[in-house]
């Protein structure tokens, strides 16, 4: 169920939408609602398949899991033509993953099946 809100709660305030199965909350002023719904529906399906609590715990506690989940969701947006690779990589760096834009781009390229390019190691 999609619910449009004026603003998202607390830790999600900087984002356009959030999925907490069975709900998808989207800011009413979202500039690309269709693209965001593609992204959030990926999370919706994952949460439904894995059950909400285990998915949320993994998402919150594991950067690796969060990176994989967000890469899948952004890849779906890219494939649908709602965001380009560079913008998706920039967005991915906002998820407290400790990665650079170059590393985010590489993660998305892997998810999209694009040829690998050398990636510098993360900063310590």
Residue 120 scores a pLDDT above 80:
no
Per residue in 72-96, pLDDT tens? 999 999 999 999 999 999 999 999 8
pLDDT score for 32? 86
How far is residue 120's CA from residue 4's CA, in Å, rounded to a whole number?
A: 40
How far is residue 10's CA from residue 100's CA, in Å, rounded to a whole number?
A: 25
| In the chain, where the domains are located | 2-112
pLDDT band at 118 (very low <50, low <70, confident <90, very high): low
Range with lowest mean pLDDT among 29-33, 68-72, 75-79, 116-120: 116-120
pLDDT band at 29 (very low <50, low <70, confident <90, very high): very high
Using CB atoms within 10 Å of the CB of residue 54, give its burial: 0 to 12 exposed, 13 to 18 middle, 19+ buried: exposed
Residue 49 scores a pLDDT above 90:
yes
For residues 50-63, average pLDDT: 94
For residues 35-44, average pLDDT: 96
Sequence-distant (≥ 6) Cβ neighbours of residue 85 within 8 angstroms: 78, 105, 108, 109, 112
For 45, the 3-state DSSP assignment is: helix
With a pLDDT cut of 90, the percent of the chain lying above it is 79
Nearest CA to 85 out of 114, 42, 122, 59 is that of: 114
Across 1-124, the runs of DSSP E, i.e. the strands, are 2-5, 17-20, 23-27
pLDDT score for 124? 56
Per residue in 7-21, pLDDT tens? 998 878 888 999 999
């Amino acid at each position: 169920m999609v619910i449009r809100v004026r603003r998202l709660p607390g830790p999600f305030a900087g984002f356009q939408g959030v999925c907490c199965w069975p709900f998808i909350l989207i800011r009413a002023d979202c500039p690309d609602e269709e693209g965001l719904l593609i992204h959030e529906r990926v999370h919706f399906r994952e949460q439904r398949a894995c059950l909400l609590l285990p998915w949320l715990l993994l998402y919150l506690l594991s950067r690796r899991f969060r990176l994989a989940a967000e890469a899948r969701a952004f890849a779906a947006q890219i494939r649908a033509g709602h965001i380009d690779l560079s913008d998706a990589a920039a967005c991915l760096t906002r998820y407290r993953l400790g990665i650079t834009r170059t590393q985010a781009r590489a993660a998305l390229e892997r998810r999209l099946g694009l040829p690998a390019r050398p990636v510098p190691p993360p900063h310590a």
